[in-house]
Amino acid sequence: MRVAVYYNNRDIRIEERPIPQVGPGEILVRVRASGICGSDVMEWYRVPKAPVVLGHEIAGEVVEVGEGVTKFKTGDRVFATHHVPCNTCYHCLRGNHSVCETLRRTHFDPGGFSEYVRIPALNVDRGTFLLPEGMSFEEGAFIEPLGCAIRGQRVCGFRMGSSVLIVGSGVTGLLHLQLACAQGAGRVIATDVNEYKLSAALRFGASAVIHAGSEDIVARLRNVNEGRLADFVIVCTGSARAIEQAFHLVEKGGSILFFAPTDPEVKVSIPFNDVWWSGVTITSSYAAAPYDLALAIELIRERRVNVVDMITHRLPLSEIAFGFQLVAESRESLKVIVEP
């Protein structure tokens, strides 16, 4: 089978490998759609692990089932997540599934940027779902990133009627924007330095947009939000400047959700007394629990979150290098879907 092997953002090679053999409890999936995630182009994180086959936002068709598999059969259309929690450790039992050591060790074989993937038994048991009738494979590729957004808004305590500021209007920002609207946000405002993404934010339901490079964000935010700052600030960029700005954009008693990592050497300053006096809650979120993924499936199935119109490029595996270029440059593209 063909696989796309990552060496760095400018070096992704199409190579041949044997189709994985499934064991007891495992399934083999023919990948039909695989999204390129922003984390796939974080070279500081990916290059030390190279060469590697990436791709964790997948949907496909079951072509073989291992001994003992009863939940799935050949021909089933499925979504599978690469990271699954054990559900029994100290962290899982406290509801902190995304820091479970099992979750951080689980992966596909080899990765979603390939024609076939072997889904390990634990992932089959706890992280594989049937696609609902009428849901396309490319929609299924959004289940994992939307699930991550769902967990983020859940852990930061989102409340209906709140004002929400999305800092960074790329794919994750737009998913957060639509999710906040679906949950009954009173007003959702989006920022970015890219006009293309600001236009996209308006299309996907933003009440207003703010150009972070040319506008006074605080003044503009108060102007469009009845004189107040945002109840919830969701930071979907690793920009140190954006992270530091977030502390000046949150209303008293509000919450900041940090949803994206920085480069590892980055340090930011916190106006501690201001945060303390204002009663601001700060939290972060990574990955998704199984029930977040189940909810993501329903939101996509019911078209409460429009993922199809977020796709700007559909590419064959042979053109994946171009897809990585689009995502790394992050100019006039949103979601890039690879169709192996």
Digit-coded pLDDT (tens) for 264-311: 999 999 999 999 999 999 999 999 999 999 999 999 999 999 999 999
Q: Are residues 8 and 136 in the same domain?
A: yes
Which of 284, 304, 328 marks a domain boundary? 284
Q: Are residues 11 and 136 in the same domain?
A: yes
Q: What is the mean pLDDT of the chain?
A: 97
Residue at 64 is within a domain: yes
Q: Are residues 114 and 63 in the same domain?
A: yes
Q: Are residues 225 and 129 in the same domain?
A: no
Q: Residue 209: CB partners within 8 Å, gap ≥ 6? A: 169, 189, 190, 191, 192, 198, 201, 202
Residue at 100 is within a domain: yes
Task: Count the domains in the chain.
Answer: 2
The candidate with the shortest Cα–Cα distance to 176, out of 192, 328, 36, is 192
Mean pLDDT, rounded, for 114-122:
98
Q: Are residues 72 and 142 in the same domain?
A: yes
CATH of the domain at 304: 3.90.180.10
Q: Residue 30: CB partners within 8 Å, gap ≥ 6? A: 60, 61, 62, 63, 115, 116
Q: Are residues 181 and 307 in the same domain?
A: no
Residue at 298 is within a domain: yes
pLDDT of residue 42: 96
Mean pLDDT, rounded, for 124-149:
97
Specify the DSSP class assigned to residue 82: S
Q: Are residues 217 and 125 in the same domain?
A: no
Range of the domain at 266: 157-284
Q: Are residues 223 and 314 in the same domain?
A: no
pLDDT of residue 103: 95
pLDDT of residue 1: 98
Residues 6-61 have pLDDT tens digits of 999 999 999 999 999 999 999 999 999 999 999 999 999 999 999 999 999 999 99
- Asked whether 112 and 54 are in contact (CB, 8 A), the reply is yes
Distance, CA of 22 to CA of 153 (rounded, Å): 36
Residue at 53 is within a domain: yes
Q: Are residues 293 and 238 in the same domain?
A: no
CATH of the domain at 186: 3.40.50.720
Residue at 152 is within a domain: no
pLDDT of residue 106: 93
Which of 284, 302, 331 marks a domain boundary? 284
Q: Are residues 80 and 127 in the same domain?
A: yes
Q: Are residues 139 and 220 in the same domain?
A: no
Which of 284, 302, 328 marks a domain boundary? 284
Model-wide pTM > 0.95: yes
Distance of CA 265 to the CA centre of its chain: 23
Q: Are residues 28 and 105 in the same domain?
A: yes
